[in-house]
Chains A and B, each alone.
Chain A
Amino acid sequence: MARVLFKGNEVIAEAALRAGVDAFFGYPITPQNEVPEYLAREMPKRGGVFLQTESELAGINMVLGASAAGARVMTSSSGPGLCLMLEAISSMALTRLPAVIVDVVRSGPGMGDLAPAQEDWKLSGNGAYKIPILLPGNVQELANMVFEAFDIADQYSTPVLVLADGMLGQMMEPVDFDKLPERRKNLPDKPWRMASVGEKGYRTMMTLTYGRPLTEFTDRFENETMPKIIANETRYEAYGLEDADVVVAAYGTSARMAKAAIKEIKTDLKFGFIRPMTAWPFPKEPFEKIGPNCKAVFCPEINTIGQMIDDVRIAVAGRMPVYHIGNTAAGPMNTANIIDALRAYVEGVAK
């Protein structure tokens, strides 16, 4: 198949269909509405369950049920909806139920604004847990990551979050669906699935775990599963780190702006670049490779108070100052804001 022009949100839906999604449950919210609209159109023709739910709360709990039933299942939403889903996501992380959740991020806090944003980095909820979070940087990568998210979810039996900012959801770009990653082989069976005793020949009791089972469970996750995910699924793009004077670290749409900004600035200073492609596991390695000449790390993010920057600071471990570049009173961060901030720094060094 040749390259076709596709809107980001529709790419999410098409990639999910190609990954063999069995069911989608979701509630309308801007800026991700083309995801359910596309699936509502296509799933009756191509197979699978599409259901518009009464709320994100109900939607994610249907996802939980369908996942428990052994299905490949997904939902999509944006920040306010993701908040409503956190209890169930946290529970699915504990119960080890696979699912794909796509967050087409808009700006908050609260109901916020419909403008694109990078603000849901710190996926939270109650309890200590981690789930893989993928950070697509363009529409092709959005297709690839949504497709692969289903395999990652099944391989480690975990919910997986794809964090796509509103810009990516709403933009059209060429995409080639022949370039999707290979389907992973030897994915584990789901012997725990809810399917009735008659179908499996044994009984499944899928419950909240209390007391000792809980600590045994979380211990196993921390000591067995987490290291595997960190070793196998950490992703990033990086260049120019060893002799960099300044490093710019950014993900998603702001990474594209940052690349443009670095090109634009005329200076003798050398810029290195890091683009995390997973928020968890966070790629510490490229930050450890930053050479001794580096004097500063900049983190442009489309938000007011930096979020990724905290992970960057942990990775940099105090070796150099880390600065936030973000939204201004005039609106969401754009390339000019990054250029201005970097130029101010460059000129400051020159003095």
Chain B
Amino acid sequence: MSIVYERAKSLTPVDFTYCPGCGHGIATNLVAKVIDELGIQNDTISVSSVGCGGMNPMFFDTDTIIPMHGRAPATATGIKRIHPDKIVWTYQGDGDLASIGTAEIVHAAHRGEKITTVFINNTTYGMTGGQMAPTTLVGQKTTTSPYGRDESHCGKPIRMSELLATIEGAKFIARVAIDTPAHIRQAQKMIKRAFECQMKGLGFAMVEVLSTCPTNWGMTPTESMKWQTEHMIPYYPLGIYKDFE
């Protein structure tokens, strides 16, 4: 008998504490598989974030740190500059990266900081209970946009991949989804490429992972995957926005 599936070696033997059906579980698993595939577990330093992503230091069997809210790219910069030969990456949600931490992510890209960022976009603040994020879709109801996000009141959702792709120091930017097995396989490939970008010493790399938050969206996991397909992907087009040779 051959093993067709096993737990990633880069994960600790701890059960995920994400909600059932949450996209974080898939994304966390994908990153761990990539770390295994590239054989970099022993050289990796993981920087998480504040929000649901802040739970993943328990899961990655690497050195892990939780930084201040939004400052993961700065903290990762401090670590990478001291250990330029290590693989340093951040795992940040949309509240962390696209709201409070916009300056840090933009300038990490601007400096061409040789770090990798995995950005989880689930259109809401998961940990604090489903408030509106900069990524919340127009019309989407959250606890702080109870009548639906109103464009005239707080604009249209921000597209971070497109924004960061305009920055010279960003060498790999891609947006992926996890709504279908095909997309999940593609997501793993893109995450791998984002780590390879760092391993080649090229500059900043980010993969935006469209994700789900069944708990705060008030949907079943299946419904939330369908919602991602029908509502998120049309507004957040998948693809590679910046690539290297």
Contact = CB atoms under 8 A, between A and B. Distances in A.
Contacts of A49: 81-82
A194 interface: yes
A173 interface: no
Contacts of B82: 22-23, 49, 65-66, 69-71
B224 interface: no
Interface in B191-233: none
B117 interface: no
B74 A53 contact: yes
Given A61-B104, A69-B82, A196-B45, A204 B75 contact: no
B64 A207 contact: yes
Interface string A82-114: 000001100100000000000000000000000
Given A58-B103, A198-B42, A204 B64 contact: yes
A68 interface: yes
Contacts of A196: 42-45, 62-63, 83, 86
Interface residues of B, number: 35
A66 B76 CA distance: 8
Interface in B13-69: 41-45, 47, 54, 57-58, 61-68
A62 interface: yes
Nearest to B111: A51
The 9 closest A-B pairs by CB, nearest first: A65-B78, A198-B42, A61-B74, A66-B78, A65-B75, A61-B71, A62-B78, A69-B82, A54-B107
Q: Does more than half of chain B's interface fall in helix, strand or loop, or is it mixed?
A: helix
A195 interface: yes
Interface of A: 22-23, 25, 49, 51, 53-55, 57-59, 61-71, 73, 87-88, 91, 194-200, 203-208
B138 to A, nearest CB: 30
A197 B41 CA distance: 8
Contact of B64 (A55, A65, A206): A206
Given A22-B82, A195-B45, A54 B103 contact: yes
A71 B79 CA distance: 9
Nearest to A22: B82
Contact of B63 (A23, A64, A67, A195): A195
A51 B68 contact: no
Given A58-B104, A197-B63, A205-B57, A68 B68 contact: no
B136 interface: no
